[in-house]
Amino acid sequence: MEVIIKDLIGIESKYEEDLKGKKGAIQRHTDAKGGEIGKEGENYVAAIDGNSLISTIDLTIQSIVEKYLEQACIDNVCTDGGNVVVMNPQTGDILAMATYPSYNLNDPYTAYTEELKENWETMVQEERTKSLQAVWRNKAIADTYEPGSVFKLITASAALEEGITDTDNTGEFSCTGGIEVAGVRIKCWRYYRPHGSESLRDALMNSCNPVFIGLGQKMGVQTYYKYLRQFGLLEKTGIDLFGEAKSIFLAENKAGPVELATISFGQRFEITPIELVTAVSSIANGGTKITPRVVKQIINGETGEVTDVPIKLGERVISEETSQKVLSMMESVVAERNRKECKSCRI
């Protein structure tokens, strides 16, 4: 359960005002030199306990996530480690948030992997500090990465919302292994055996790059960036934890056709895992923007009164209809696609 406690550290710094309480005191009258003038008027002020916070983290889900994240990172030799966020798309509640490798909260200054343990004695202090600081970061909110094919969900949502495509128009698209954009040929990952005739559902299941590049082109930079903004991808999510980083996108007025093409299938920009989970939550919850949170209730230390932290729902991002269409395609991706076929896909 160490990660839970670690997450709580982040919560503690964010909710310092709620948690700290008030010190007790004895008030008495003194003369100008600080000498006591009798016991009259002496007043005892009791200390007030700070408030308690009820976290959204579900201990069962968190421990399952930690176990399988560690196993997956070891099995797939993920040298940079990994992280998992589980979020309720209706409320924004973070049910689990785990980073691997992690560290022992009760012993945060010691080596946290077998490799580090072996070399710890010979490492200079600077190297030790650097490796410790790296593991203390909550990568799900503090680090950005290139999301890859999972971003095709955003492009598909925008294109459906704009009414320029539909899920099951047989033969609507044709993959020839690549597409020419402003004189640059961008390949499909399966350029050696092109996907041929596809519907949007087929294209998402095949993770076919040219289809999503084409949809991006049809929408243009202005419309595409409008959806990036609506999905909240150009700003921080506003999660109630310190240290949240922001996405790195090329400015709208600097993005040309080639840049738009690469963004459309998830490359050449960086977002945080929490930004992606939050954006996809809008697809999953019927189309509404939601703010993620790790605290759902505050218990008053004095009165025991429980206050609910309000759920922060934002504006509509896509219609209910578009949301249902994208969800149905997401289901097809896991239910129907031959997973062996695509080694590079991340959806």
344 Rama class: left (phi>0) / alpha (psi -120 to 50) / beta: alpha
Pick from 14, 152, 195, 325 the residue near Zn ion by CB under 5 A.
195
Q: CA quadruple 261, 268, 224, 339: dihedral positive or negative?
A: positive
Q: Are 257 and 182 in contact (CB under 8 A)?
A: yes
H or E stretch at 135: helix 125-136
Residue whose token pair is 């949301």: 323
H or E stretch at 308: strand 306-308
Closest CB to Zn ion among 39 and 343? 343
Q: Are 89 and 281 in contact (CB under 8 A)?
A: yes
Pick from 154, 156, 175, 318 the residue near Zn ion by CB under 5 A.
175
Closest CB to Zn ion among 195 and 296? 195
Q: Are 142 and 168 in contact (CB under 8 A)?
A: no
- Regarding 188 and contact with Zn ion (CB under 5 A), the answer is yes
- Regarding 200 and contact with Zn ion (CB under 5 A), the answer is no
Q: Given 131, 149, 264, 281, which residue is catalytic?
A: 149
d(CA 241, CA 9): 9
Closest CB to Zn ion among 195 and 289? 195
Q: Is 149 a catalytic residue?
A: yes
- Regarding 152 and contact with Zn ion (CB under 5 A), the answer is no
Closest CB to Zn ion among 65 and 156? 156
Of 15-23, 208-216, 237-245, 267-275: span binding Zn ion (CB under 5 A): 208-216
- Regarding 208 and contact with Zn ion (CB under 5 A), the answer is yes
- How many residues touch Zn ion under the rule CB under 5 A: the total is 4
Of 43-51, 193-201, 222-230, 309-317: span binding Zn ion (CB under 5 A): 193-201
Of 106-114, 191-199, 316-324, 326-334: span binding Zn ion (CB under 5 A): 191-199
Closest CB to Zn ion among 330 and 345? 345
Q: Which residue, 93, 104, 15, is CA-closest to 53?
A: 15
Identity of the amino acid at 305: E
Residues of this chain, 70-129, that bind Zn ion according to CB under 5 A? none
d(CA 285, CA 90): 6
d(CA 293, CA 240): 6
Of 12-20, 110-118, 169-177, 311-319: span binding Zn ion (CB under 5 A): 169-177
**For binding to Zn ion (CB under 5 A), which residues are involved?**
175, 188, 195, 208
Annotated catalytic sites, by residue?
149
